[in-house]
Amino acid sequence: MGITNEFAKRPASEGYIQVKVAVLPETATVFKARCAAAGVSMRSELIGFMIGGTPPKPATRPLTTRRNRREVVKSIVKQLEKIIAAEADYAAAIPENLKNSVVYDTAEETVSALEAALEILNEAYQ
């Protein structure tokens, strides 16, 4: 977040066009919170999006339906797969003299635990 551009800093004398957007209250709340957490204004984010910057991340849907939960689980599964791959790469890069150490055991246990979690999620949300 946080796009800076010369268009966002024009003087008021050049005139502005007001753009109104109607969104669900939870969408507005999430957007406000993300902007506040990133330390940027909502206005600058919207302007950045309008001129071709990176759009803000979409608000998550309420988890009141299985379909919405399944969509969230899909994104979690993708992230877990990336973490598992990174942890496996880390374990593979541990020097031979540390293969029987706590560092190596922890890396292996982490991969096993994440794979088990991934399996449970895949079974529950096929």
pLDDT tens column, 25-57:
888 888 888 888 878 888 888 888 888 766 555
- Domain of residue 93 covers 66-124
Q: How many domains does the chain have?
A: 2
Q: Kindly state whether residues 43 and 71 are assigned to the same domain.
A: no
> pTM surpassing 0.75?
no
Identify whether the C-beta of residue 49 lies closer than 8 Å to the C-beta of residue 55.
yes
Q: Kindly state whether residues 29 and 71 are assigned to the same domain.
A: no
Chain position carrying tokens 């940027």: 40
| Model confidence pLDDT, tens digit, residues 58-97 | 556 678 888 888 888 888 899 999 999 999 898 888 888 8
Cβ neighbours for 21, distance < 8 A, ≥ 6 positions apart: 46
Q: Count of alpha carbons within 13 Å of 57, Cβ hemisphere only?
A: 9
**55 is a domain residue:** no
- Tell me how far apart the alpha carbons of residues 8 and 10 are, in angstroms, rounded to a whole number: 6
**59 is a domain residue:** no
**18 is a domain residue:** yes
pLDDT reading at 4 higher than 70: no
Which pair of tokens denotes residue 24? 């669900």
